[in-house]
Amino acid sequence: MLIKLLKAKIHNATVTMTDANYHGSITIDRDLLAASGLLPNEAVLVADCENGNRFETYIIPGDRGSGIIGINGAAARLSHAGNRVIIMAFTLVDPSEIEGHTTRTVIVNAQNKATEILNLPTVS
């Protein structure tokens, strides 16, 4: 049996642009990807803090230092520039791995720059 746990999240990021005509995905500044450990093409769940919408998509890396959080494709209709979002990725672990598991949380400011990085253990 595998258990689904939070791998990493970017907390309180500000959507900088939306593009409904793009072929899909979320564009994330490469600096935030490095800080969070998230990868290009990795599946993520995005929760919009302003309207409660949640959607799953995959990551496209954006320009380093740009602060971009771009919602693309059909998901662009579920969020708006200026909205705050939480971007989450999950992992499946064997019960024997739970004790050593940690979740990386990157807290960002209004310009989408990391202000705090937390490594939170699943078991305390």
Tokens 């990021």, residue located: 13
Q: Verify whether residue 25 is a known catalytic residue.
A: yes
Q: What per-residue string of b and e applies to 27-45 under the rule 16 or more CB within 10 Å gives b?
A: bbbebbbebbebeeeeebe
Domain boundaries, the chain: 3-121
pLDDT tens-digit profile of 67-124? 999 999 999 999 999 999 999 999 999 999 999 999 999 999 999 999 999 999 998 6
Q: Verify whether residue 22 is a known catalytic residue.
A: no
Global pTM value: 0.96
pLDDT band at 23 (very low <50, low <70, confident <90, very high): confident
Q: What is the mean pLDDT of residues 43-56?
A: 98
Which of 22, 36, 58, 96 is catalytic? The answer is: 58
pLDDT tens-digit profile of 2-17? 999 999 999 999 999 9
Give the pLDDT score at 24. Answer: 78
Does the domain made of 3-121 have the CATH classification 2.40.40.20?
yes
Q: Is 91 exposed, middle or buried (0-12, 13-18, 19+ CB in 10 A)?
A: middle
